[in-house]
Amino acid sequence: MIEILFKDKKLLKLTSTSEIPDAPMDFLLMQFVNYTEKELKWLSAHYDLDFTIMKHYEDIEISSHFLENENQASFHFSIPYLNKDKKMVEEPVFIIVSKVGLFLFSSTELDDFFNEIYSKKVKAIQRTAYHANIFMFQFEFISDYFADITESLTKKIKVLANQILIDKEFSNEELDIITKHNFSNLLIKEALLEATRVFTLYMKSDWEKKAGVKNSIQIELNDLSAVSDYIQFNFDRLDDLKENVSNKIDLEQNHIFKMLTVVTVCISLPTFIAGVYGMNFEVMPELESRYGYPIVMILMVLSALLPFIYFKKKKWLR
């Protein structure tokens, strides 16, 4: 799908590049959702765009996240979000700004997510009539998004902490939830660091000298820095929760082992006595005693009760 936002605030939605008018267009933004190789070739032929950044965006080098030349500046951002299965995943977003306008590339899943969660912000971009505002809107949106998704995860961690620490309700499932939140927090942290690097590099670029939005970018960088502190706090809290749950599980297991020890001792002594007198030896004086049976029964009961009393005094049965 292709969406074109013109300077007169009109929005044109198309399904392929063949529907785009051949006449020169005075547009602000051209968005491609689930872009194809054919569409990229069309853009390269009509607007002389370079898509190198899209081919190497998974590389570690910073050139896979920010790349500029005389004709354009290219940006790659990894956007973590909750998919339909409520699992944290990430999708790449590419922004190319050139002299003719701004080009945005994303997936259908991510585009649907933004349209559903941030419908007001998405519609707000249609009221923008200036190229610089459209360009700055992308940075502001990314910064606000990281703040929102971090805040959402922080709330979930607080609810989990309340359940574990205050309500004292926990199980092995809580460890799985902690691991899930920790993974989500890690994805957000990694994506935020990449965005911070891109913002910083852009401020030093030649394109920034033309756009002149350095002060605004610095504000967004400050916001990202604050969000990064919250992400680190989430890591610390999750580590504390994991340790707390692990300690409680260890205590429960220790209590179970103690109970098994008590039961084993209380049963083993009577079993030992019964085993001795169950031997088929010819010379066993107790077998001929008139009171042999009650005496042995009393010994068996005492051998079970005495360890029980001992362990109870040692407070093993609490």
Q: Could you read off the pLDDT of 136-167 as tens digits, one per residue?
A: 778 888 888 899 899 988 998 888 888 777 76
- Give the CATH number for residue 9: 3.30.460.20
Task: Using the CB atoms, write b or e for 117-146: b if 16+ within 10 Å.
Answer: eeeeeeeebeebeebeebbbbbbbbbbebb
Q: Give the full edge-to-edge strand order of the sheet including 72-82.
A: 11-14, 2-6, 27-33, 102-106, 88-98, 72-82, 66-68
Interior angle at CA 125, CA 120 and CA 131, nearest 5: 165
Nearest to 5, CA basis, from 28, 39, 25, 35: 28
- C-alpha span between 29 and 6 (Å, rounded): 7
> Would 188 be classed as within a structural domain?
no
Looking at the predicted structure, is the pLDDT value of residue 60 above 70? no
> Would 220 be classed as within a structural domain?
no
Q: Are 28 and 6 in contact (CB under 8 A)?
A: yes
Q: How many domains does the chain have?
A: 2
> Would 83 be classed as within a structural domain?
yes
Give me the half-sphere count of Cα atoms (radius 13 Å) on the Cβ side of residue 214. 10
Last residue of a domain, one of 117, 139, 163: 117
> Would 214 be classed as within a structural domain?
no
> Would 197 be classed as within a structural domain?
no
> Would 128 be classed as within a structural domain?
no
pLDDT band at 3 (very low <50, low <70, confident <90, very high): confident
- C-alpha span between 176 and 304 (Å, rounded): 41
Give the pLDDT confidence score for residue 86 in this predicted structure. Answer: 82
Tens of pLDDT, residue by residue over 216-237, are: 888 888 888 888 898 888 888 8
Which structural domain, as residue segments, surrounds residue 283?
Answer: 251-313
> Would 57 be classed as within a structural domain?
yes
Tens of pLDDT, residue by residue over 256-309, are: 777 787 778 778 878 877 777 777 777 777 777 777 778 778 877 887 787 777
Q: Any bridge partners for residue 74, and if so which?
A: 67, 96
What Å distances lie between residue 99 and 69, 72, 127, 183, 200, CA to CA? Answer: 12, 7, 21, 40, 22
- C-alpha span between 124 and 9 (Å, rounded): 11
How much of the chain, in percent, has pLDDT values that exceed 70? Answer: 88
**Mean pLDDT of the residues in the chain:** 80
Last residue of a domain, one of 71, 88, 117: 117
- C-alpha span between 49 and 56 (Å, rounded): 16
Looking at the predicted structure, is the pLDDT value of residue 129 above 60? no
> Would 213 be classed as within a structural domain?
no
Give the pLDDT confidence score for residue 49 in this predicted structure. Answer: 86
Nearest to 304, CA basis, from 263, 245, 244: 263
Last residue of a domain, one of 60, 84, 117: 117
56 in helix, strand or coil?
coil
- Give the CATH number for residue 258: 1.20.58.340
Considering the entire predicted model, what is its pTM?
0.73
Other Cβ atoms less than 10 A from the Cβ of 177: the count is 19
How much of the chain, in percent, has pLDDT values that exceed 90? Answer: 2
The set of long-range contacts for 109-114, using a CB threshold of 8 Å and a minimum separation of 24, is: 109/83, 110/79, 110/81, 111/33, 113/81, 113/82, 113/83
Other Cβ atoms less than 10 A from the Cβ of 63: the count is 15
Taking residues 124-145, report their average pLDDT: 73
Tens of pLDDT, residue by residue over 61-77, are: 665 788 888 888 888 88
- C-alpha span between 293 and 287 (Å, rounded): 8
- C-alpha span between 65 and 51 (Å, rounded): 12
- The residue behind tokens 């190789």 is 37
